[in-house]
Amino acid sequence: MMPRKIKENVFLMGAVDWNRRLFDSLIPLPDGTSYNAYLIKGSKKTALLDTVDPPLIDVLLSQLDSFEKIDFIVSHHAEQDHSGSILRVLEKYPNAKVITSLKGKGMIVNHLCVPEEKVITVEDGEELSLGDKTLKFIYSPWVHWPETMLTYLKEEKILFTCDFFGSHIATTDMYVTDEGQVYEAAKRYFAEIMMPFRNIIKRNIEKISEYEIGMIAPSHGPIYDKPEFIINAYKDWISDTPKNVVVLPYISMHGSTEKMVQYLVDGLTKRGVKVHLFDLAVTDIGKLAIALVDAATIVIGTPTVHVGPHPMVVYATKLANVLRPKAKFASVVASYGWGSKAIEQIAEMIPNLKVEILEPILVKGYPREDDFKALDNLADVIASKHKENDFH
């Protein structure tokens, strides 16, 4: 990819990673991703905002061949995929300085071995003139590390947001063309890395509301030339009110848990509650994270393995706990052969969830009439709790 002009002397740079399928050895990337960098050429100085993930540095270096001089490399965020190639860019432009937040400095020095003397820190709200273009740096902590910041290009009203508002999509589109596709990818991204910081994100969104924003240029996925699309989506995702939705991750080994969860899905559906069912043996964990963004209730289905829940259920439960979704209610439907502490162990795994626990159901062997009555009762309770709380 060659540099692509966004505005006069403002270019989209960086690399599209079509084949990447996993991030941080944890997060699935079904649609690949991109590492966007941006180059802003002022009448006096030139700045590069972010770099690329190190394996794709040659793409960025070849784009930079068209630019004789870089004065500043702005590091919005110290993670490898944006700042991991700073040293290589510094080799090409040895006189360049790296601009970052106060917390960012320690991180790029410690994690990425950027020489301390190359780094200039900026305060929240500080401006840097490139001549006829001005960069204003806006601290935006916890989107999604403590050091993260944004850059506002005043003259063009472009907000460069790095991970914030990003989406993992590999595409040749410079701007959002398919809002449905980008909505899901951005929601997946929010769910996986931003959701634990919902309350701080609220403050960051309030902070940027004072700026006139014509365009949001993230460092993953396409640029938003209609920024209200993604800002409104974020406002919905960070709101405290969940939707009339149950998320039901489960595993079944011999069919008992499967029978229970399928019965519960039917019962909830009959009562007007939407359900997202995830068989953890085959599910994309990112899809589960997306569903957790809106869920009012989480019900976990598990058989018993050596007294406790199935290990895949342990993984999903711990993940839900660290993602801190806004769910208000939780329950467990479990089965066992001769002894079980599955329910107690799951309850201990979710201290971060501020949920009311609804009467769990534990079944010995295959579910029978009384068990189905208990499942009907659980469906009744969930439906009425959602109704009482006016969840739509």
Q: Which tokens belong to 273? A: 């509650």
Smallest separation (angstroms) from ligand FEO to the CB of 288:
20
- The DSSP line for 86-115 is HHHHHHHSTT-EEEE-HHHHHHHHHHH---
Nearer to ligand FEO, 107 or 300 (CB): 107
Question: Cis omega before residue 306 (within 30°)?
Answer: no
Q: Choose, by CB under 6 A, the member of 31, 50, 79, 156 that binds ligand FEO.
A: 79
Smallest separation (angstroms) from ligand FEO to the CB of 220:
6
Using rule CB under 6 A, residue 276 touches ligand FEO: no
Instruction: Identify residue 303 by its one-letter amino acid code.
Output: P
Quick one: which of 179, 186, 183 has its CA closest to 161?
A: 186
Smallest separation (angstroms) from ligand FEO to the CB of 98:
17
HEC string of 118-185 equals HEEECCCCCEEECCCCEEEEEECCCCCCCCCEEEEECCCCEEEEECCCCCCCCCCCCECCCHHHHHHH
Burial class (CB in 10 A: 0-12, 13-18, 19+), 200: middle
Smallest separation (angstroms) from ligand FEO to the CB of 143:
9
Size of the residue set binding ligand FEO (CB under 6 A): 7
Helix (H) or strand (E) holding 262: helix 256-270
Nearer to ligand FEO, 142 or 263 (CB): 142
Using rule CB under 6 A, residue 77 touches ligand FEO: yes
Give the contact letters, 82-111, x = binds to ligand FEO (CB under 6 A), - = no. Answer: x-----------------------------
Q: Which residues 6+ apart lie within 8 Å of 176 measured at CB?
A: 182, 222, 223, 224, 225, 226, 229
Instruction: Give yes or no for a contact between 125 and 58, defined as CB atoms under 8 angstroms apart.
Output: no
Using rule CB under 6 A, residue 220 touches ligand FEO: yes
- The DSSP line for 60-74 is HHHHHTT-S---EEE
Q: Give the interface segment with ligand FEO, choosing from 5-13, 77-85, 221-229, 344-352 (CB under 6 A).
A: 77-85
What Rg do the C-alpha atoms of the chain give, in angstroms?
24
CA distance 339 to 84: 50
Smallest separation (angstroms) from ligand FEO to the CB of 15:
13
Q: Which tokens belong to 78? A: 């110290």
Q: Which of residues 128-167 bind ligand FEO (CB under 6 A)?
A: 144, 163
Q: Give the interface segment with ligand FEO, choosing from 74-82, 88-96, 104-112, 169-177 (CB under 6 A).
A: 74-82
Quick one: which of 19, 88, 16, 18 has its CA closest to 48?
A: 88
Using rule CB under 6 A, residue 294 touches ligand FEO: no
Q: Give the interface segment with ligand FEO, choosing from 58-66, 76-84, 122-130, 152-160 (CB under 6 A).
A: 76-84
Residue carrying the six token digits 């770099």: 51
Smallest separation (angstroms) from ligand FEO to the CB of 18:
17
Smallest separation (angstroms) from ligand FEO to the CB of 38:
14
Smallest separation (angstroms) from ligand FEO to the CB of 33:
8
Q: Choose, by CB under 6 A, the member of 17, 31, 50, 81 that binds ligand FEO.
A: 81
Instruction: Give yes or no for a contact between 156 and 87, defined as CB atoms under 8 angstroms apart.
Output: no
Q: Give the interface segment with ligand FEO, choosing from 65-73, 78-86, 170-178, 304-312 (CB under 6 A).
A: 78-86
Nearer to ligand FEO, 41 or 220 (CB): 220
Residue with CB nearest ligand FEO?
79
Give the contact letters, 161-190, x = binds to ligand FEO (CB under 6 A), - = no. Answer: --x---------------------------
Smallest separation (angstroms) from ligand FEO to the CB of 199:
19
Smallest separation (angstroms) from ligand FEO to the CB of 192:
10
Residues that bind ligand FEO (CB under 6 A): 77, 79, 81-82, 144, 163, 220
